[in-house]
Amino acid sequence: MVADVAQGGRSEERVHDRVGQHVGVRVPLEASPVGDFHAADDQLAAGGERVLLARAEQARDVLPAGLSERGYAVDVLAVYRTVTATPDPDVLERVRRGDVDALTFTSSSTVTNFCDAVGTIAGDRHSVISIGPVTSQTARDRGLRSRTRGPE
């Protein structure tokens, strides 16, 4: 069996290089499945092949749906799940008091879990930094104004 590996980020590239894994599709990471799919579109064959998508248990279906529409047989394999931790009460209180200058979020689930843990934050005093457009939208939906995104 020959399998191509798709990879999208410099850290992933270093891992594949270290273990000698051939990467058939290099996806410029755009921090969203839609961006990943469109960025890889010119590298994908015309379908008819099987694709294994290893991902979080809770994830949007944009990427597998897009691949299926192109004729791929997509197997989704959940390899990890997001589990809510019990935050340190002292840190939560510092956030509520405004003793933190910036909030950073790496996924929509971090925004959701943060807001559920912290509750309402008075005012608009925090700089909110998110990894990409989907996470920024989740932050806005939860009342946080995302001011910047991380590098693409």
* Mean pLDDT computed over every residue of the chain: 75
Q: Which fold has domain 89-149?
A: Rossmann fold (3.40.50)
Q: What is the pLDDT of residue 38?
A: 57
List Cβ<8 Å contacts ≥24 apart for 144-149: 144/103, 144/111, 144/115, 149/31
Can you say how many angstroms the Cα of residue 91 is from the centroid of all Cα atoms in its chain?
Answer: 25
Q: What is the pLDDT of residue 1?
A: 38
Q: What is the pLDDT of residue 37?
A: 57
Residue 150 carries which side chain, given as an amino acid letter?
G
Q: Where in the chain is the domain with CATH 3.40.50.10090?
A: 89-149
pTM: 0.62
Whether the per-residue pLDDT at 46 is higher than 90: the answer is no
Give residue 102's pLDDT band: very low, low, confident or very high (50, 70, 90): confident
Whole-number Å distance between alpha carbons of 107 and 28: 18
